[in-house]
Structure 1
Amino acid sequence: MTQLKSRLMTFLMFLVPLLMAPGYANAQQPSEAEIKEMIQEQFERMYQKGVDDLESRIVVTGGVKPFAVVTDTGDKTKTIRIKQIEEMPADVALEVLRRSLIALLKKGKIGATAVFYTTANPNKESEADRVLVVEMEHIFGPTLAQLVPFTIDEGKALFGEQVVVEMENKIFNINVDEEPAE
């Protein structure tokens, strides 16, 4: 798991600057470099908290039901788990979680999200039959998904090589000026 954390941190150091749109530098706003650093730190904190939270669960059950780690508007990181999700099919649970995060976003409660879930490995040539997916989004624009194949062997999760890709916004694709969801 430490290897998994280390790979993401290295990747984020190089990816976040590439994803940031220029134009934030202004005397009254933080510089572009400060914004990039803030985003990277928030992604790292959310990822670390999520991995710490799922580490024991993934070994016991062979996967995890969708949950999120968010950074709120006060720059505090917290885990969001919806109790009812544990009883839902995974695809329904993921949609419910995303809609709940959108509702929080519309209310101005969050600025960054990391959604964690496991699914069947789409790469049929891989030895790993499952994949850990971490979808990270930030209100300032950067989005990425990390896919890490894994197997459970003798009570331990063994992770393969990660693949990191840009993705479409799933949470921050709404007009924040719309009325908040009830």
Structure 2
Amino acid sequence: MRKSRYIAKEVLSLFAILVIAPCFAAAQGSEQSDKEVKQMIQTQFERMYEKGIQNLSDRIVLTGGVKPFAVVSDTGDNVKAIRIRQAEEMPPEIALEVLRRSLIALVKKGKIGATAIFYTADNPNKKSNADKVLVVEMEHIFGPTLAQLVPFTIKNGKASYGEQVVVDMEKQIFNIKVDEESAE
């Protein structure tokens, strides 16, 4: 959470990148354009992460975890949290699958360009002092996909977070053809 507070960068509009980046790449060379696109993606990931942390910080302390929810960047570069009310009553693994399918349906409709899914799970590292891990799966329509794992422990009503680990992951949301009809 401390890391997310220092994030104070201006964000390029996703629409501008989608329209201008291909033209700019042709005019300026793809190396400079690639750097700008990577920076734009990084900025969007940071904004979604910060919004997600704001949405879960109180819940994680009260309940020791959070049900899956998402933060998305829409095609207008607006960042918003998405919670499925019914998912709060479902087992976490079912809620996660329902959330992923809902996000896929939004992608097929052309509504979102980047996603960050937040949920908690048992810590797979048995040698760690932390029992739980906060998982943040981030995907972007331009290709980058990663998962951030943050071990945490709740003591005396406060959450303490361990060192984060970032790993590559397979696409789960943007692995479909956007022009396919939504089956949802």
Whichever residue aligns with residue 27 of structure 1, its letter is: A
How far 1:181 moved relative to its partner? Answer: 3.3
Q: Percent identity?
A: 72
Q: Does residue 99 of the first structure (1) align with residue 101 of the second (2)?
A: yes
Whichever residue aligns with residue 34 of structure 1, its letter is: E
Aligned residue number for residue 75 of structure 1:
77
Question: How many Å separate the matches in 2 of 1:112 and 1:161?
Answer: 25
Question: How many Å separate the matches in 2 of 1:180 and 1:72?
Answer: 18
SS at match of 1:141: coil
Contact 1:106 1:181 in 2 (8 A): no
TM-score (norm 1): 0.86
Aligned residue number for residue 160 of structure 1:
162
SS at match of 2:27: coil
Question: How many Å separate the matches in 2 of 1:102 and 1:92?
Answer: 15
TM-score (norm 2): 0.85
SS at match of 1:27: helix
How far 1:103 moved relative to its partner? Answer: 0.2
Among 152, 175, 178, the residue aligned to 1:176: 178
Aligned residue number for residue 40 of structure 1:
42
Question: How many Å separate the matches in 2 of 1:115 and 1:123?
Answer: 21
Q: Which runs of 4+ in 1 moved over 3 A?
A: none
The gaps in structure 2 that reach 5 residues or longer are 8-21
Contact 2:5 2:50 in 1 (8 A): no
Aligned residue number for residue 27 of structure 2:
27
How far 1:34 moved relative to its partner? Answer: 1.9
Contact 2:117 2:137 in 1 (8 A): yes
Alignment of 1:76-155 (within 5 A): 76-155=78-157
How far 1:113 moved relative to its partner? Answer: 0.2
The gaps in structure 1 that reach 5 residues or longer are 10-23
Q: Deviations over 1:18-65 (max 9, x none)?
A: xxxxxx622399922221121111101000000011000000000000
Question: How many Å separate the matches in 1 of 2:78 and 2:60?
Answer: 25
User: How many residues get paired?
Assistant: 167
How far 1:161 moved relative to its partner? Answer: 1.0
Question: How many Å separate the matches in 1 of 2:97 and 2:67?
Answer: 12
Aligned residue number for residue 16 of structure 2:
none
Whichever residue aligns with residue 141 of structure 1, its letter is: G
